[in-house]
Amino acid sequence: MMLHIRWCRAFASAALFVAMLANPGRAADVYAGKAVDIIVGGAAGGGIDLYARLVSRRLGAHIAGNPNILVKNMPGAGGTRSMQYVGAVAPADGMTIGATAPGAIVGPLLGEPGDATVDASKFIYIGTTNVGVSICTTMDKSPIKTFSDAQNRPSTMGAQGPGAPSFDVALLVKNLAGAKFNIIPGYNGSTHITLAMERGEVDGVCGWNWSGARAQKADWIRDKRLNLLAQIGIDEIPELTEMGVPSIWGFIEGEDNRKVAAFVLTQKGFERPLFIRDGTPAVRVQILRSAFDATMTDPNFLADAEKAGLEVSPSPGVRVQELVQGFYATPKDIVEKARLAIKP
């Protein structure tokens, strides 16, 4: 499987650079003999977990002092539970990194006014291992074989809950592209949804990250056990286009609907975000961002990713920060239309 690498480079500010030079031993002093936790807002074996563990194996080698990197799972509320922990419980010392689904970041803004329990724009972002695309898919035994079928016949789609891509993206596709989805929430991550698909409890899932699908169910893709109905992202993925999977943009009519979809799908620019608590000292922020950047180009990391079938298309923390803050600065009329587009 070919590994697709896209890298966007960003430079630290001169002030931080000088600070690092003036204190060359600071990272070693801070991190030597310590452990850094990555708190995963999803179940073990899911896409978020797979990428967090991939990063954890190599990140410590790029931090002076070589701390141990430990992955801990904290699923719940579509990834929001882990964000609440990182943002309100964990110290702002650079020793706790969050890893969650993008829906948990955009969810507080897209939920009902007053429902937000965490302000995702206040976190400091370290980077994302992926920018990408989601898929709508059904099992081969489902009568729903194409997106046209989904528009004309009812189908059941497994999902986590509000804020998770399997819920929000499925509703977006239902409300803006006319898919007759009956969305069944309550599943604890993609591993449980795919089990439900195999058992015939649901037809499929809409909002499943393509890179996660390739890693988790490569045999299903190889053996054509999945009907790939549509790809959902800002841009098409050549691999899916070559497989004949249509873009969701071909099914969304009207300029207003397309603007709303583009707003919601901003999250595809940070598929696997890593973040730390606001108030973390600037030098430690730069240590972690630099370590992340170095990890993304580490030959050992890339070899690990290729072996695991995990696509790597990273973007640095500065860029993710811009995307998230831009998302939270969106005009209220677009936000309100987007809320309605992902409302059951």
Q: Give the CA distances from residue 48 to residues 101, 220, 231, 312, in Å, rounded to whole numbers and listed in that order.
A: 7, 20, 19, 13
Q: What is the pLDDT of residues 229-254, one digit of tens each?
A: 999 988 888 899 999 999 999 999 99
**CATH: 3.30.980.10, 1.10.3720.10, 1.10.150.20, 3.40.190.10. Which one for 134-266?**
3.40.190.10
Please report which residue ranges of 143-298 form alpha helices under DSSP H: 147-152, 165-177, 190-199, 210-216, 218-222, 238-242, 255-264, 282-296
Q: Which two tokens stand for residue 203?
A: 């037809």
Which class is domain 14-130+269-341?
alpha beta
Euclidean distance between CA atoms 179 and 155, whole angstroms: 9
**Cα separation values, 302 from 66, 95, 308, 310, Å:** 19, 24, 10, 9
Strand 68-73 with 35-40, pairing: parallel
Task: Tell the residue number behind the tokens 């015939």, with chain if given.
Answer: 200
Which one-letter DSSP state was computed for residue 309? T
Gyration radius from the chain CA atoms: 20
Q: What is the pLDDT along the chain (344 residues), one digit of tens a residue?
A: 434 434 444 433 333 443 444 444 455 678 999 999 999 999 899 889 999 999 999 999 999 999 999 999 999 877 889 999 999 999 999 999 999 988 889 888 877 655 557 789 999 999 999 888 999 999 999 999 999 999 999 999 999 988 788 998 999 999 999 999 999 999 988 899 999 999 999 999 999 989 889 889 999 999 999 999 999 988 888 899 999 999 999 999 999 899 899 888 988 889 899 999 999 999 999 999 999 999 999 999 999 999 998 889 899 999 999 999 989 999 889 999 998 888 87
pTM for the structure as a whole: 0.73
Q: For residues 336 and 197, what is the distance between their CA atoms, to the nearest angstrom?
A: 33
Domain borders along the chain are: 14-130+269-341, 134-266
Amino acid at residue number 26: R
Of the candidates 55, 47, 56, the residue with the CA atom closest to the CA atom of residue 101: 47
Query: What's 121's DSSP letter?
Result: G
Using CA atoms, how far apart are residues 34 and 66, in angstroms rounded to an integer?
8
The closest alpha carbon to 238, from 313, 296, 297, belongs to 313
Cα atoms in the Cβ-side hemisphere of radius 13 Å centred on 252: 23
Alpha helices in 89-164 (DSSP H): 102-110, 147-152
Q: Do domains 14-130+269-341 and 134-266 have the same CATH topology?
A: yes
Quickly count: other Cβ atoms within 10 Å of residue 9's Cβ.
10
Predicted pLDDT of residue 28? 64
